[in-house]
Amino acid sequence: MKILAVNAGSSSLKFQLFEMPSEEVVTSGIVERIGYDNAIITFKVNGEKIKEDKQILNHKTAVELVIHGLISNKIIESLDEIKGVGHRVVQGGEYFKNSAVIDEDVIAHIRGLIDLAPLHNPANITGIEAFRNALPNVPQIAVFDTTFHQTMTEDAYLYAVPYEWYEKYGVRKYGFHGTSHQYVSERAAEILGNKKAKVIVCHLGNGASICAVDGGKSVDTSMGLTPLEGIPMGTRSGNVDPAVLMLVSSKEDKTYGEVLDELNKKSGYLGLSGFSNDSRDIIDGMNEGNHRAYLAHQVQVKRIADYIGSYYVYMGGLDAICFTAGIGENAPEVRRDVIKAVKVLGIELDAAENQKRGERMISTKDSKVKAYIIPTNEEVMIAREVIRLESK
Ligand code: ADP
């Protein structure tokens, strides 16, 4: 049975078609620059990329082209082969404690959460509506970035602000990257042969977050009301004193919104280094003796270590630290320096294994706390959720 996993952004749409339950990827692809004359649609078929430039002015057209491409590239013979579509939705608030079979009511609730995710939920809804339109008889499932973290308790998710802000506006920590944290922590528990394992997942991509998983449940995570909170990222600052907003807005005659935008888009690696948001450039710069690149790296490492230490204490112990996503999977220097920074917890790096790629243990056999690289797979998690909900 074929299941499509979809991740719709404001100007892009990523998709992966799975054969389930074998989880084999039949095809994957991306539509980029939706809304422009020179959009690009890419299909990966049998390891080969098929690219086409086209005018794609909206998600509806993008979805029609994806579906047409599945047939014209002979990936499927008929649309009946697609038995379900799973959509990544960023913000599920407190309402969605689980993935949901999409109907009008579910869409209304996702729309109701737009205040909490103004950049993401509207794009997710556009993707959902376009697929419902194109495949009206196929069940559509929403899988939220936030549901995995709904197991956090009040002490972890509340901010110490006037309680009415929480009651009236939903001001609290929600956390994101939930499907990735769940996938990686489940895999870690499997490798460790221990369902009760205490695991810390470091999802380090362009967006980055840390999650403490105790016995399969998220008990704390670094992102908050929005993905801005937590550790520094490619272009996001992570935690700063909110008073920065007032100071910079008055000094530079900018609105709070403009300064917030700079905390989201001009900070992190980019802000500190002054030249790049890409970890490869930061590491190259650092190796060439660029002090600002070194700072960008070192500040991030320090903050990651801060979270690991804090989650170690919060969980009362730790079995494994897992690294995942673009940087976590591909940057040995970041893993090396994070592990060095938390060595006191009883973790010993295997320097040779750390240089390699793919799923593996990167701590020594005798290390008390283990460390792993576990490549994430958010798409397969989405496809699994579709199967799980359809079989209910
Ligand atoms: P997102 O999905 O959040 O956009 P990714 O998980 O794709 O991000 O991660 C992007 C980051 O991964 C970039 O900073 C990029 O530099 C880094 N990355 C990818 N490949 C490598 C590599 N070979 N070495 C170091 N960093 C890498």
- Tell me if 276 CB under 6 Å of ligand 1: no
- Tell me if 208 CB under 6 Å of ligand 1: no
92 occurs within a structural domain: yes
Range of the structural domain that residue 85 is part of: 2-144
347 occurs within a structural domain: yes
61 three-class SS: helix
Ligand 1 centroid – CA 232 distance (Å): 14
- Tell me if 234 CB under 6 Å of ligand 1: yes
Residue 17 sits in a domain of what CATH number?
A: 3.30.420.40
Q: How far apart are CA 38 and CA 51, in angstroms?
A: 12
Instruction: Report pLDDT digits (tens) over 91-134.
Output: 999 999 999 999 999 999 999 999 998 889 999 999 999 999 99
Instruction: Report pLDDT digits (tens) over 340-384.
Output: 999 999 999 999 999 999 999 999 999 999 999 999 999 999 999
Catalytic option among 145, 220, 319, 337: 145
User: Does the global pTM surpass 0.85?
Assistant: yes
Strand partners for 2: 19, 82
Asked if residue 200 and residue 133 are part of one domain, the reply reads no
pLDDT at 318: 98
171 occurs within a structural domain: no
> Could you give the number of structural domains in the chain?
2
162 occurs within a structural domain: no
Whether residue 145 lies in the annotated active site? yes
φ/ψ region of 215 (left if φ > 0, alpha if ψ in -120 to 50, else beta) reads left
Tell me which residue has its CA closest to atom 3 in ligand 1.
206
Tell me which residue has its CA closest to atom 21 in ligand 1.
330
Which residues neighbour 356 within 8 Å (Cβ) at sequence distance 6 or greater?
none
Residue range 275-283: mean pLDDT, rounded: 97
